[in-house]
Structure 1
Amino acid sequence: MHPNAKLLEQFYSAFQRLDAETMAACYAADVEFSDPVFPNLQGSEAGDMWRMLTSKAQNFSIVFDGISADDQRGQAHWVATYTFSQTGRTVVNDIQANFAFRDGKIVNHHDHFDIWTWSRQALGLKGLLLGWTPIVRSAIQAQAAKGLAIFRSKK
C-alpha cells in the first residue's frame, strides 16, 4: 500500500474514533479544505473544523472504502451517519473525497456531497423545499462559519 494511502487510512480510522488531533496531524500546516458546508478553510481552520465536529458528534459512525493514492493525489469514499444537533434529525451523508499530498501530509482535501440531499435530511421540510437554492446553501455555510468562529474563539 502506498504511504499516502496509509495516511488516508490513518485519517479515517482516527475519524471513526473521533480523534480530531490525529486527523489534524495528517494535514500540512497550509492545508486547504473545502466541502459544500465549509467551502474554503485554510491551515489550522481545517483541523479546528474536525475538532469542533468530533466534539459535538452525536450517534456518530463512519465507514470508509475506496482509498487509493499515489505520490501526488488520492481519493476515498466515506459515509457518515449522525444526529444533526440543531434539529435532532438523523443524517446519512455519502461523501467522495479527493486529496493532494506533499511531503507525506495532506495539503488539499476536497469533500463532495449533494447539499440538497444533506439539507433534506438535516433540515426536514425546509431542506426538501429550499435546500437546493443558493439562499439556503449560503445560510448553511454562514451558520457553519459562525459556529467554527465561535469554537475557535474559545480555544
Structure 2
Amino acid sequence: MDTLSDIAVADKFYESFARRDIDGMLSCYHDDVTFEDPAFGKLTGSKAHNMWRMLLQQGDAGLKITHTTPIVKNDKVVTNWEAHYKFSKTGRQVHNIITANMIIKDGKIIDHKDAFDIWRWSRMALGTTGLLLGFTPLVKNKIRSQALKALKKFESQQ
C-alpha cells in the first residue's frame, strides 16, 4: 500500500464529486470495482459506474458534497463525507453523513463501501413514513428496490 498515493486517489474522487465531474470520479475507479451502500446494496463494475452517472445526471442541481481528509486505517482509506441535496421523490432536504472505506489496487479504487444510517436518511427523505417505519426491513427493502429500479431504467436509456 502506497499511503500517500492511495489517499490522493480517494481525495481526487471526492473533489471530483464535489465538482460534479463524473470523468474525474470514474478515473479513480478500477474497472472491476465493487461498491456497496445501504441504498443500492452491492454493485460491481459498470453498475457502480452507472450509479454515480445517474446520481449526478438526475440528481439535485444544488447538490453539495464535502469530505474530510482521507486517512489510512487497517489497509483501507477512510474518509467521511457529507451530501446536502433535495430528494427528488419528495422534495425534502437531505443531509446525509457517510463514512467511506476504500481499498486501492494499482492506483484505483477496487472496493468502496459507504456506510450511513438509513433510518436517519429515511426520516429526512421520506418524512413521517421514514420516521415511523424507516428502520424496518420493509422500508429498507423498498428503498433498495426503488434505487435499483431507477438504476436499471437509467442504464436502459444509455
Q: Please give the residue correspondences for 1:122-133 in structure 2 after superposition, counting only pairs within 5 Å.
A: 122-133=125-136
1:95 aligns with 2:98: yes
What is the percentage of aligned positions where both structures have the same residue? 44
Match of 1:2 in 2: 4
**What amino acid maps onto 1:2 in structure 2?**
L
Does the Cα contact within 8 Å between 1:95 and 1:112 map onto a contact in 2? yes
2:46 to 21, 28, 44: 44
Match of 1:136 in 2: 139
Q: Which structure 1 residue ranges, 4+ long, deviate > 2 Å from structure 2?
A: 69-72
In 1, the alpha carbon distance for the partners of 2:22 and 2:153 equals 18
Does the Cα contact within 8 Å between 1:2 and 1:70 map onto a contact in 2? no
Does the Cα contact within 8 Å between 1:115 and 1:131 map onto a contact in 2? yes
1:117 aligns with 2:120: yes
Does the Cα contact within 8 Å between 1:71 and 1:101 map onto a contact in 2? no
Aligned length: 155
**What amino acid maps onto 1:21 in structure 2?**
D
Shift of 1:132: 0.3
Task: Structure 2 unaligned segments of length 5 or more: list them.
Answer: none
**What amino acid maps onto 2:150 in structure 1?**
G
1:149 to 127, 139, 152: 152
In 2, the alpha carbon distance for the partners of 1:153 and 1:56 equals 14
RMSD between aligned residues: 1.4
In 1, the alpha carbon distance for the partners of 2:69 and 2:28 equals 18
Does the Cα contact within 8 Å between 1:72 and 1:102 map onto a contact in 2? no
Shift of 1:71: 10
CA deviations on 1:37-61 (whole Å, 9 max, x unpaired) are: 0111000111110100011221210
Match of 1:78 in 2: 81
Q: TM-score, normalised by structure 2?
A: 0.94
Task: Structure 1 unaligned segments of length 5 or more: list them.
Answer: none
